[in-house]
Amino acid sequence: MAIQVNGTEVISNSRALNNIASVDATTVASLGAAGVGGGKNNSLVVLQDVSGTLTIPIAGDVVFIAVGGGGGGAAISWPNNVVASTGTNTYSASGGAGGGTAIKKLTGVSAGSTYSCTIGAGGTRPSGIYTRYNGSTKSGSGGAGGQTTISGTGISLTANGGGGGNFNASGNSSSGAGGTASGGDSNFWKRLFNF
């Protein structure tokens, strides 16, 4: 049986979430009344994809996950589709690295508590790169991802962006370093590729 809030389906018969941009107190109460989650000890996973102030809608435990922006990939564009090699030099470009991730759980958070969030942007692509370029060869490394932070009472998370991909004019290139993270119960990063 599908679950609706104010006439709008939020959980389908196949248990998929629908039409949920954010979870407010009314939605949480409706889901709890329907036997989905809820209960005296509420637990929220707070997702914020824009910078600004985050307000907790109901009292309970809150899990914060901060993820740094991923690094932009490097690129090479060759004139007139020539082979990516000149003489003894072999040119290469790598992908960007993932951002760091910090996870922290706060217990007993009061409804209406606010937290400041800054969301790191993804890394930029190299400038002057085109899908097909009919002039001289264009190449470049990608930009680093931006830093994500969450701060407020009992929390100060930092998730740094991943390094940009690298262009190498004389051999294999490696991706930038994965973003580091701090302040969480768990902090981790991962280099996605290393050629």
What does DSSP say about strands 8-11 and 148-152: parallel, antiparallel, or unpaired? unpaired
Are 62 and 23 in contact by the 8 Å Cβ rule? The answer is no
Give tens-digit pLDDT for 12-71. Answer: 766 666 766 666 666 666 666 665 654 455 555 666 778 999 998 888 888 898 999 988
DSSP string of 42-89? -EEEE---SSEEEE--SSEEEEEEEEPPPPPPPEEE-BTT--SEETTE
Please list the alpha-helical segments (H only) found in the chain.
25-33
**pLDDT beyond 60 at 191:** no
For the chain, the structural domain boundaries read 1-39, 42-188
Residue 129: other Cβ atoms inside 10 A: 16
pLDDT top residue among 194 and 74: 74
Look at residue 10 in the predicted model and tell me its pLDDT.
66
Look at residue 176 in the predicted model and tell me its pLDDT.
81
Across residues 150-179, what is the average pLDDT?
86
75-86: buried (b, 16+ CB within 10 Å) or exposed (e) per residue?
bbbbeeeeeeee
Q: What is the pTM of this model?
A: 0.65
**pLDDT beyond 50 at 178:** yes
**pLDDT beyond 80 at 119:** yes
Rounded to whole angstroms, how far apart are CA atoms 93 and 173? 6
Hey, what amino acid is at 167? F
Look at residue 131 in the predicted model and tell me its pLDDT.
46
Rounded to whole angstroms, how far apart are CA atoms 68 and 151? 15
Are 137 and 77 in contact by the 8 Å Cβ rule? The answer is yes
Q: What share of the chain has pLDDT > 90, as a percent? A: 24
